[in-house]
Amino acid sequence: MRIDRRSRYRGCLAGLALGDALGAPVEFESLSTIRGKYGVRGITELQPWDRFPAGSFTDDTQMSLATARGCLRFLRDGGNPYRLVLEEYRTWRRTQTNPAEIRSPGGTCLDALGSGGFGTMDAPINDSKGCGGVMRVAPAGLAWPSGSAFDPASRFAALTHGHPTGHLAGGFLAELIAALVEGRTLSEALRKARKPLVGRRGHEETLNAVQRAEELAGSTVTAPEGIQKLGEGWVADEALAIAVFCSLRNEDDFRKGVTAAVNHSGDSDSTGCLTGAILGTRLGFGALPEKWVAVLEKREEILSLADELFELRRRQSSGS
Ligand SMILES: [Mg+2]
């Protein structure tokens, strides 16, 4: 089946939000607690969490949308993309005093953005390799073509995450998304994303995590065993690896992929978010469960952001 590019843009942003929303109720719970609450298959439907209705997402999506807005402003008006994305992150940071907007934000992002400063790859702001950098930069893969997305995405992540793994994992994710937008298979996209990673200072941890995920995906381990071997996803390389593993195992089934990605004892919303971005881009908007899309928070805003990014990129690549 042919999937048009607009559908991949929508699939990416709505997909990451749905994966995040599926994992949100179980972010801090062990697999045995999740099974005790939701049954042996774990959580398989969007559920309410804290004070929020089913379909509500967390900081992962809030910050991904901030990245998307910054990229959109850059494509539309030009300027410095790092400055624009930083402004959007700071705008997000200011929302984090409003109870309706507080969705278990990561301390590293709050502290780094609250400091008034920012990090670069050469002048790191801290030594964090938390997954808060990688979890939010998928939209860079919608704004830059394959082969050019790695650098901007790593630099967006480095604004708050100073450890090489904390930002290089983000570069890898955006390259993966950019290659999937172009219609590559996941294996092809993984091969392409590896190229700009290898050779960067401190790339080994990220590369090893992705390789381990690919090996495990091709082995006979069960999904929970495979995920457990890859970690819990609180740090960038583990979150990326879990998403790669779950996506490879479910390349044709968005719902199964994100469900596998959130049912483990770790950072379920972030691994759901990353897997949702990958499979949503790979399979397009039509592959997302309709009843999930129907209750997704800020659905119209997410889809119009995707459409605007798509149009701006299309105009840019056709040279008009
Ligand atoms: Mg979160």
Q: What integer best gives the mean pLDDT of the chain?
A: 97
pLDDT at 11 over 60: yes
Ligand 1 centroid from CA 273, angstroms: 9
Ligand 1 centroid from CA 27, angstroms: 8
Ligand 1 centroid from CA 60, angstroms: 5
Give the per-residue pLDDT at 278: 98
pLDDT tens, position by position, 119-163: 999 999 999 999 999 999 999 999 999 999 999 999 999 999 999
Give the per-residue pLDDT at 1: 65
Cα distance between residue 73 and residue 59, in whole Å = 21
Give the per-residue pLDDT at 199: 87
Ligand 1 centroid from CA 292, angstroms: 18
Ligand 1 centroid from CA 234, angstroms: 10
> Which residues crowd ion ligand 1, with CB under 5 Å?
58-60, 269
Ligand 1 centroid from CA 49, angstroms: 12
Interhelix angle 299-317/5-23, rounded to 10 degrees, is 150
Ligand 1 centroid from CA 191, angstroms: 28
To the question of pTM greater than 0.95 for the whole model, the response is yes
Average pLDDT over residues 199-225: 97
Q: 130 forms bridges with which residues in the sheet?
A: 235
pLDDT category of residue 35 using cuts at 50, 70 and 90: very high
pLDDT category of residue 320 using cuts at 50, 70 and 90: low
pLDDT tens, position by position, 51-80: 999 999 999 999 999 999 999 999 999 999
Ligand 1 centroid from CA 270, angstroms: 6
Give the per-residue pLDDT at 318: 85
Ligand 1 centroid from CA 102, angstroms: 10
Residue 292's alpha-carbon distances to 12, 17, 21, 207, 289, in angstroms, are 15, 10, 9, 33, 5
Ligand 1 centroid from CA 109, angstroms: 11
What the chain holds in terms of domains, given with CATH numbers, is 5-314 (1.10.4080.10)
Cα distance between residue 26 and residue 230, in whole Å = 18
Ligand 1 centroid from CA 269, angstroms: 5
Cα distance between residue 164 and residue 152, in whole Å = 14
- CA atoms 13, 18, 19, 23: torsion sign: positive
pLDDT category of residue 2 using cuts at 50, 70 and 90: confident
Ligand 1 centroid from CA 51, angstroms: 15
pLDDT category of residue 181 using cuts at 50, 70 and 90: very high
Ligand 1 centroid from CA 189, angstroms: 26
Q: Which two tokens stand for residue 238?
A: 């583990």
Q: Which two tokens stand for residue 232?
A: 């819990």
pLDDT category of residue 41 using cuts at 50, 70 and 90: very high
Average pLDDT over residues 77-100: 97
Ligand 1 centroid from CA 173, angstroms: 17
Average pLDDT over residues 297-309: 98
Q: What are the phi and psi torsion angles at 49 (to 5°)? A: -150, 150
